[in-house]
Amino acid sequence: KRLNVARTLVFILFIYLVVCLGLYVYNEPVRHYEISGITNISDAYVLRKAELVDYPPFVSLNLKEIEKKLREDPFIEDVKVSYNWNFQIDIKIEESIPVFFVRSENKVCLSDGTLVDNNGTYAGIPTLLNDTPELVRTSLASNLKKVDPGILYMISEIEYTPKYSEAGKPIDD
C-alpha cells in the first residue's frame, strides 16, 4: 500500500491544532470574577480569602477548594463557585451580617450567631446590654437577620430579661 500524503498531512495538522488549542486553554488565566450577594464585605476581601488575587490559570482552579476556603470565614454563611463562559468564575455568596453588639463580651454577633471581634467598624447596630444564653443569642441573631435593615438600625439597645412565674420558673424560656 502507498501512503496517502495529503491525508497524513491533514491528520498531522488536525492533531497539531488540537494540541495548540489544549495548551491555550490550559494556560489561559481567569479573565473575570463575578461576585454577587455581598453588601458588607468587599470583592477584594473575598478574592484575598479565596487566594485568587493573582488571576491563576482557569483550568487549574479547584472550585471545591475555593468554596472550602470561603466557608471558613465567619462573615460568609454559604458560597457557590462555578465556571462560566469566556474564562469567568462566578462566586455567589450569602453573607452573615452583623446584627448586634454584645456589650458584656465586647464582640459583634453575626446573623448566624457567631461572635467576632469588635474592630469599631459596625456603627449603628443595636447593643445587647446583658448576658444571654448562647441558644437565645443565636435565635435572636437569626431572627434579627429577617428584619429590614432600616428598622434594625433604629433599635439602639436590646435587653434580655425573661419573666418568671410565682414558682420561680422562667415563663418565656
Q: What average pLDDT score do residues 66-93 get? A: 93
28, 85 contact by CB (below 8 A): no
Beta strand residue intervals within 21-75, DSSP E: 32-36
pLDDT at 122 over 90: no
Higher pLDDT, 168 or 93: 93
- Cross-strand bridge partners of residue 117: 107
Q: Which three cell numbers stand for residue 57?
A: 490559570
Contact status, residue 31 vs residue 86, Cβ threshold 8 Å:
yes
Which stretch of 30-44, 79-93, 98-112, 113-127 has the lowest confidence by average pLDDT? Answer: 113-127
For the segment 67-87, the average pLDDT, to the nearest whole number, is 92
8-state DSSP, 73: S
Q: Supply the pLDDT for residue 169.
A: 83
Average pLDDT rounded to a whole number, residues 159-164: 85
